[in-house]
C-alpha cells in the first residue's frame, strides 16, 4: 500500500476541508468557498493548494471547466476532519469589548461531533461561568455558525450594545428578544439599542482538565 505523501499543514487542512464538504454535501467546494473558509485574499491561493495536492496524487480534476470538478483520489479519502478557526475568547459573564482576531485553529472529527461545517463555522474560548446551567464552563471551546438564524433557546455569541457575550437567546411572543444567563448570579440582558447575533452554537469542546 502506497504511503501518504508529506503535506504542509495548510495542504492537510485544505484536503480535509474538501473531504468534509464532499462527504456532507455530495460535491466538493468551489475555489471561492475554499478561499472564503481559509481567509485567502483570492482564489489564486486556493488554486495553488489544489495544484499541490493534485501533484501529490491526492486530488484529481474530473471536469477542468466545472467549479465543482474536484475529486478525491484513493489516497485522499479519509475520515473528515476540519480545522476550525478560533476567533479568540468570549465572556460568559458580563458583556465586554469585542473578542480579538483569530488565534489558531482546532482540528475536529466532523463525523464524531455530528455537525456540518461551513465556511462560516468558527470557535470561541469561553471565559466565565454565566452558562454553567448549560454545562458550558470556563476554558471550553464553543463551535458556532455565523449567519444561522437563532431560535429561542439557542446559545449564541452576541454583540449587545456593541459588547460581546455568550448567552441563551430568548424570544417571547410580542416582546423584543433578549439574552439569558444560565447562572442565577447574572441578570437578563436587554439591549438598549442593538442586539446582533454573531453565531449560533452547534458544538461544545472541552479540554480534559476542565471540570463542571
Tens digits of residue pLDDT in 73-104:
765 555 556 678 888 889 987 777 655 555 67
Q: What is the pTM of this model?
A: 0.61
By annotation, the residues acting in catalysis are 130, 167
Residue 169 sits in a domain whose CATH number is 2.10.109.10
Separation CA 88–CA 159 (nearest Å): 15
φ, ψ of residue 35 in degrees (nearest 5): -60, -40
Whether residue 146 sits in one domain with residue 52: no
> Has residue 22 been placed in a domain?
yes
Residue in this structure with the C-alpha cell 475568547, named with its chain if needed: 89
CA distances from 47 to 8, 12, 59, 86, 205 (A): 15, 14, 12, 24, 32
Number of domains, the chain = 2
The domain of 154 spans 81-205
> Has residue 175 been placed in a domain?
yes
| DSSP string of 123-154, one letter each residue | EEEEESSTTGGGT--TT-EEEEETTPPP-TT-
CA distances from 185 to 80, 92, 129, 130, 155 (A): 40, 12, 9, 8, 18
Q: What is the pLDDT of residues 110-147, one digit of tens each?
A: 666 777 767 788 899 999 999 999 999 999 999 999 99
> Has residue 21 been placed in a domain?
yes
Amino acid at each position: 500500500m502506497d504511503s501518504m505523501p508529506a503535506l504542509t499543514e495548510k495542504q492537510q487542512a485544505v484536503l480535509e476541508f474538501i473531504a468534509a464538504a464532499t462527504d456532507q454535501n455530495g460535491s466538493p467546494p468551489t475555489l471561492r468557498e475554499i478561499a472564503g473558509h481559509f481567509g485567502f485574499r483570492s482564489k489564486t491561493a486556493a488554486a495553488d493548494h489544489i495544484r499541490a495536492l493534485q501533484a501529490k496524487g491526492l486530488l484529481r480534476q474530473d471536469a477542468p471547466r466545472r467549479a465543482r470538478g474536484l475529486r478525491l483520489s484513493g489516497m485522499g479519502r479519509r475520515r473528515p476532519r476540519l480545522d476550525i478557526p478560533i476567533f479568540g475568547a468570549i465572556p460568559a459573564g458580563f458583556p465586554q469589548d469585542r473578542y480579538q482576531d483569530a488565534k489558531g485553529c482546532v482540528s475536529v472529527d466532523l463525523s464524531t461531533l455530528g455537525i456540518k461545517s461551513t465556511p462560516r463555522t468558527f470557535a470561541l474560548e469561553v471565559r466565565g461561568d454565566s452558562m454553567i446551567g448549560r454545562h458550558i464552563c470556563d476554558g471550553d471551546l464553543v463551535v458556532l455558525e455565523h449567519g444561522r438564524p437563532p431560535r429561542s433557546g439557542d446559545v449564541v455569541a452576541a454583540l449587545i450594545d456593541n459588547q460581546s457575550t455568550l448567552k441563551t437567546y430568548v424570544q417571547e411572543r410580542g416582546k423584543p428578544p433578549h439574552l439569558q444567563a444560565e447562572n442565577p448570579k447574572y441578570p437578563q440582558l436587554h439591549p438598549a439599542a442593538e442586539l446582533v447575533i454573531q453565531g449560533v452554537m452547534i458544538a461544545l469542546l472541552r479540554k480534559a482538565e476542565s471540570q463542571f
